Amino acid sequence: MGTTQLESAQEPKYWHLKTVLSEALDSEFSVGEILPNERDLAARFGVARATLRQALEQLELEGRLQRRRGVGTTVAPPRVGVSVGTTAQAWPGAADDSWGGLDGAEAVPPTAVARALGTADGEQVHTVRRSRIFAGRPVAAELLYIPAASVPGLPAIDTPTGALRARAVLRELQRSTLQGQDRSVELGSVGADDARELDRLPGAPVLVVTTRFYAGDRTAAVSVATYRADTCRLTFGDSGGVEIHQDPERHAS
């Protein structure tokens, strides 16, 4: 029995469902409100739960919904505009309170990073982990790689790991003259490690921002930051910038 027969040509059910739900979210729900549970929703629309879930997944990907196991599905607030521009915010070691959870250590970087840093394969570098907080919520997890050559004046460190060590490395890095940076953004999925830090399940989509800091013709440090793709909009504005809150789906018609 075809429910709505006139329309849809051969549009997939989950796609049509997503559209219907999206419109309902705009008109009948407010931010933070809890939706009916998946089994009820599926029954109401006359589809299998898996199909309903496919629609919800899309909406979550677009930042419209937030789902939490054991709790329910809620209407998500608009995406947060997070600056990753050439601001003091993003500069490692700069005075800055939007980053937290500092932790330092020493480790062998992935070969791709080692090549960019110009370090020998298997050579240890300083690493600093930190997480970016916005409105009380973690939005990003960053891993900085700093070769020993970039922090020549680093005093003897007695703590092998921890926030103290991280702060010492950052302080010393800041003293060296960072002259510029290359950045790239791509889609990734969060690993088990960062997942906990970002309060998401493994596999959740993230925007991976890879930054190469250079001083002279040398790469002074490499940062790999993973931003929650569902809640973040990365802004690269040179100035404050006007907000253009666009629905991430559909751009023409």
Contacts with a second copy, residue ranges (CB under 8 A):
15, 18, 58, 61-63, 79, 81, 110, 112-113, 115-116, 129, 143, 180-189, 191, 193-194, 202-203, 205, 207-208, 210, 212, 219, 222, 224, 226, 229-230, 232-239, 241-242, 244-253
Closer to a second copy by Cβ: residue 121 or 158: 121
- Work out the angle at residue 157's Cα, subtended by the Cα atoms of residues 123 and 148, and round it to the nearest 5 degrees: 30
Q: How many CA atoms lie within 13 A of 203 on its CB side?
A: 1
**Is residue 31 a contact partner of residue 64, using CB atoms and an 8 Å limit?**
no
* Candidate residues 1, 2, 6, 10; the one interacting with DNA per rule CB under 7 A: 10
Q: Which residues from 44-63 bind DNA, rule CB under 7 A?
A: 46-51, 53-54, 56
Evaluated on CA atoms 72, 226, 185, 232, the torsion sign reads positive
Contact pattern for DNA over residues 158 through 187, marking x by CB under 7 A: ------------------------------
Of positions 1, 6, 71, 187, contacts DNA by CB under 7 A: 71
In angstroms, rounded to a whole number, what is the distance separating the alpha carbons of residues 23 and 128?
A: 44
For residue 136 the two structure tokens come to 């009380």
Burial of 189 (C-beta count, 10 Å sphere; 0-12/13-18/19+): middle
Minimum distance between the CB of residue 33 and DNA, rounded to whole angstroms?
12
